[in-house]
Structure 1
Amino acid sequence: MDLGLRGRTAVVAAATSGIGLAVAHRLAAEGATVSICGRDPDRLNDAVRLLRERTHGVVHGVALDVTDHDAVRRWVEEVAGAYGGPHVVVANAGSPPEGGAERFDVADYRAALELNLLSAVTLTRAALPHMRSAGYGRILFVTSLAARQPIPGLALSNTVRPAVLGYAKSLVQELAEAGEGAVTVNVIAPGMTRTPTLEAWAEQLDGGLAGLSADIPIGRLAEPEEIGAAAAYLASAPAGSVTGVVLPVDGGAGRSLL
């Protein structure tokens, strides 16, 4: 299937490893010009080099922290000036610390909001004017299973991930009321995924990765490439009527009816 991404420009946040890198890889492989960001300049350079070698595409990188709102806005303007667009935005960030609800104080909750919600708001607001000008936009928010149902021991994620859904659903309605149906908004909610972060965490647990897979109906972790494939479809021209969707990629681990 031709996804219609050749000639489009995508920005993918927090894409030096794991899910973000897999999404960037798939978009570049489909012919999109891709710009990624990450906090560590060395890891960023390695990721850009890897993406260029594997996709032979146009790949650009900027070292920044997604909670630095001015830096995020400058990134988007730099990409727009150099490559056009952006036509596709993938708002992604790391996970907040683990722990129960009473472990954290207000400052911790505020930091989690900055990381997982407000960074996405800033990136979206920076990109929307360019999408409107282009008459094409795909906004993708990468959250987690915690956006759909609470996960024990992840109180910060359980609090802030659903807020991203509220923002996404609000955007869908407002864009529709403004007659801007060419800009779609969707959420990807991965479950347990075989990323370097998860593998490091699993080493501390009884049963390791196998133990984490025990409650997943398909019997295994998701692979980052599977998240990348889902993102590429939602970013595509054929997905123009898909908006307001919360797409779980969790092997059936979600127990919610909706």
Structure 2
Amino acid sequence: MDLGLGNKVALVAGGSSGLGLATAKELAREGAHVAIGARDRGRLAEAERAIKEVARGRVHVTSVDVTDRAAARRWVDEVAADFGALHIVLVSGGSPQIGTASQFEPAEYQAAVDGVLLPAVSLALAALPHLRAAGWGRLLFVASETASVPVARLALSGVARAAIVRFAQSLASELGRDGITVNVLAPGTTRTPPVERAAAKLAEGGDVEARLRVMGHHNALGRLARPDEFAAVATFLAGERASFVTGGIHLIDGGASVVGPELPHLTAARKDTYT
């Protein structure tokens, strides 16, 4: 299936590992020119090699802290200038601490907003002039299942991701006639490096693979998602064939939302297990 991504320019924030890297690789495989940004230079170098192994277009790598709004805007402008256009923006970042709503102080809510919501808003606003100039665009926000389904132990995530949803839906209403679609991806637990590290903490020296299996058992498929499964959905939404899909929250949770919130990997975890 041709997704119409040949020679499109894609910018992927958080593209050095996990969901961001998986999506960057898939976009590159489909023929897009791909620019990734993240803070860790070592991971960026590894990611660059992995993307170039499958890329049909150019690959651009930048060390950038997207919580620095000025730096994030410079990065977006530099990518658009270097490639001559910008068409696709995927914003993937970190996750806040876990815990119930009353466990956190206002400063921790502020940190979640600063670390999750505002970088997404800043990058999107920085990209809009370039997407409008191209007359074609895809804005994709990586949230989590908490963007759609309440999870009591993920209070900070729910607050920040719900705000991203409303921001994205407002943008979708505003930008549709400019040829720009806006969508939110809401993955369930996926086997990414942070999840593997969390499993190691929870295993406390025991069987990490067994812990990972437990973390995946609560959905209808009975396993963790793979990053490439997420990337397949993201890349479809970035393509020409998804031209009438906008303003949506797209659950990629293996049916967890229809099974129910039995989440032992959260109830037994400390605040910092996933950070």
> Do Structure 1 and Structure 2 share a fold, with TM-score over 0.5?
yes
Q: How does 1:39-188 map to 2 (within 5 A)?
A: 39-176=39-176, 179-180=177-178, 182-188=179-185
Q: How many Å apart are 1:106 and its aligned residue?
A: 1.7
Output one character per residue of 1:165-206: Cα deviation in whole Å (capped at 9) or x when no partner. 100111111224xx32x1000111000101111011122336
Output one character per residue of 1:128-159: Cα deviation in whole Å (capped at 9) or x when no partner. 11111111000000000011122232221021
Q: Distance in 1 between matches of 2:148 and 2:50?
A: 33
Instruction: Name the counterpart of 2:9.
Output: 9
1:222 paired with 2:225, answer yes
Q: Name whichever of 198-207 and 19-28 sits farther off.
A: 198-207
C-alpha RMSD of matched pairs (Å): 1.4
Q: Distance in 1 between matches of 2:80 and 2:213?
A: 44
Q: Distance in 2 between matches of 1:61 and 1:109?
A: 31
From 244, 251, 256, give the equivalent of 1:241: 244
Give the conservation status (yes or no) of the 8 Å contact 1:138–1:183.
yes
Name the SS of the counterpart of 2:240 in structure 1: coil
Name the SS of the counterpart of 2:35 in structure 1: strand
Name the SS of the counterpart of 2:125 in structure 1: helix
Q: How many Å apart are 1:103 and its aligned residue?
A: 2.7
Q: How many Å apart are 1:56 and its aligned residue?
A: 4.9
1:198 paired with 2:195, answer yes
Q: Name whichever of 143-152 and 102-111 sits farther off.
A: 102-111
TM-score, normalization by structure 2: 0.88
TM-score, normalization by structure 1: 0.94
Q: How does 1:11-26 map to 2 (within 5 A)?
A: 11-26=11-26
Instruction: Name the counterpart of 2:27.
Output: 27
From 208, 220, 223, give the equivalent of 2:211: 208
For structure 2, the residue ranges without an aligned partner over 5 or more in a row are 204-209, 260-275
Aligned partner letter, 2:115: L
Q: How many Å apart are 1:123 and its aligned residue?
A: 0.7
Q: Aligned pairs, how many? A: 253
Q: How many Å apart are 1:29 and its aligned residue?
A: 0.6
Give the conservation status (yes or no) of the 8 Å contact 1:213–1:221.
yes
Instruction: Name the counterpart of 2:271.
Output: none
Name the SS of the counterpart of 2:11 in structure 1: strand
Name the SS of the counterpart of 2:241 in structure 1: coil
Distance of aligned partners of 1:85 and 1:184 in 2 relative to their CA distance in 1, 3 Å threshold:
same
Name the SS of the counterpart of 2:117 in structure 1: helix
Distance of aligned partners of 1:56 and 1:239 in 2 relative to their CA distance in 1, 3 Å threshold:
closer
Q: Distance in 1 between matches of 2:252 and 2:85?
A: 28
Q: Distance in 2 between matches of 1:15 and 1:5?
A: 18
Percent of residue pairs bearing the same amino acid type: 48
Q: Distance in 1 between matches of 2:105 and 2:185?
A: 28
